[in-house]
């Protein structure tokens, strides 16, 4: 496990070799906050398929959180993470401290996520995506991966990272992996284990709402959203934060005339914990 920028550079230089004219190994990056679960395992397996060398970062990014207390409260399981990464034969594990990766603290220069970064998740946490993109950009600069792998549970993050790669000319391919789900359809998340049985049954209605949206997509976007809302009707434990249908090309809400591929996005708080999910739908 590597904790400093100096050691990371030295290890990657060793991997790439001294012959700069030769084509070096293909490198994949999986950036995480640690607390690894089955979803992360799938990302790492895809990274292994797409590369010769897999680099995994486990960094609880303070720029993603509202306060230092929120950062400190994020679940950490370094011993369990180490076992997972060892079992998967990850080549490089980068686990820096905040002081190492962000020496200027929260005053550091940041990448702006723009208007889309202030919608959906960004409306709830307006600082969030600037923090995400800033650290992703630093990791792309430090690791120089050929490919970076993300899970499709975080579609807005993927859209914004892809746009940053295009706009800032990072020579990295963005690959995605379908969402890993529990038996009752929930995206795998460390938060699920924190719910009691009643809240767990309630939160399982979120993927049901997305299924209802997809089933009514042939009737247009308004019918799609109404069906999803109906699926949540009467569930008082769910505090809905947003339910939107967006254009994959712009990540802006579609209008009634939109036809073809779209994404339905949902976010809600249940039992004091936030959950997000999404589904691809086809509007006709």
Q: Is 152 annotated as a binding residue?
A: yes
As a whole number of angstroms, the distance between CA 256 and CA 277 comes to 22
Q: Is 180 annotated as a binding residue?
A: yes
Token reading at 86: 């060892």
As a whole number of angstroms, the distance between CA 2 and CA 7 comes to 6
DSSP for 262-279, please give it: EEEEEEEEETTEEEEEEE
Q: Is 191 annotated as a binding residue?
A: yes
Q: What angle do CA 248, 144, 86 make, to 5 degrees?
A: 95
Tell me how far CA of residue 11 lies from CA of 33, 81, 134, 142, in angstroms: 21, 20, 23, 11
Catalytic residues: 40
Q: Is 188 annotated as a binding residue?
A: yes
Q: Is 153 annotated as a binding residue?
A: yes
Token reading at 80: 């369990």
Which segments of 50-194 does DSSP mark as H helices, in order?
68-73, 78-87, 98-101, 121-124, 128-143, 155-167
Q: Is 149 annotated as a binding residue?
A: no
Binding site, annotated residues:
151-154, 180, 188-191
Binding site, annotated residues for ATP:
151-154, 180, 188-191
């Amino acid at each position: 496990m590597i904790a400093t920028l100096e050691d990371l550079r030295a290890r990657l230089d060793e991997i790439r070799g001294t012959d700069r004219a030769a084509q070096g190994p293909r490198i994949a990056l999986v950036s995480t906050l640690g607390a690894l679960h089955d979803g992360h395992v799938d990302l790492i397996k895809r990274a292994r398929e797409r590369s010769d060398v897999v680099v995994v970062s486990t960094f609880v990014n303070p720029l993603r959180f509202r306060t230092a207390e929120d950062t400190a409260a994020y679940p950490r399981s370094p011993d369990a993470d180490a076992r997972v990464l060892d079992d998967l034969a990850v080549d490089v594990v980068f686990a820096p401290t905040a002081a190492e990766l962000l020496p200027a603290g929260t005053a550091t220069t940041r990448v702006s996520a723009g208007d889309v970064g202030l919608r959906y998740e960004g409306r709830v946490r307006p600082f969030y995506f600037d923090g995400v993109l800033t650290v992703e950009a630093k990791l792309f600069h430090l690791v120089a991966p050929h490919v970076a792998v993300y899970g499709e549970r975080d579609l807005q993050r993927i859209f914004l990272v892809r746009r940053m790669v295009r706009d800032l000319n990072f020579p990295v391919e963005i690959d995605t992996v379908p969402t890993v789900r529990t038996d009752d359809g929930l995206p795998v998340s460390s938060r699920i284990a924190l719910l009691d049985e009643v809240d767990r049954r309630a939160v399982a209605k979120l993927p049901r709402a997305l299924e209802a949206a997809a089933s009514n997509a042939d009737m247009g976007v308004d019918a799609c959203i109404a069906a999803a809302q109906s699926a949540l009707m009467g569930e008082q434990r769910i505090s809905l934060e947003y339910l939107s249908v967006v254009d994959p090309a712009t990540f802006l809400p579609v209008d009634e005339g939109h036809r073809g591929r779209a994404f339905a996005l949902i976010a809600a708080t249940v039992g004091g914990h936030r959950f997000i999910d999404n589904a691809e739908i086809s509007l006709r």
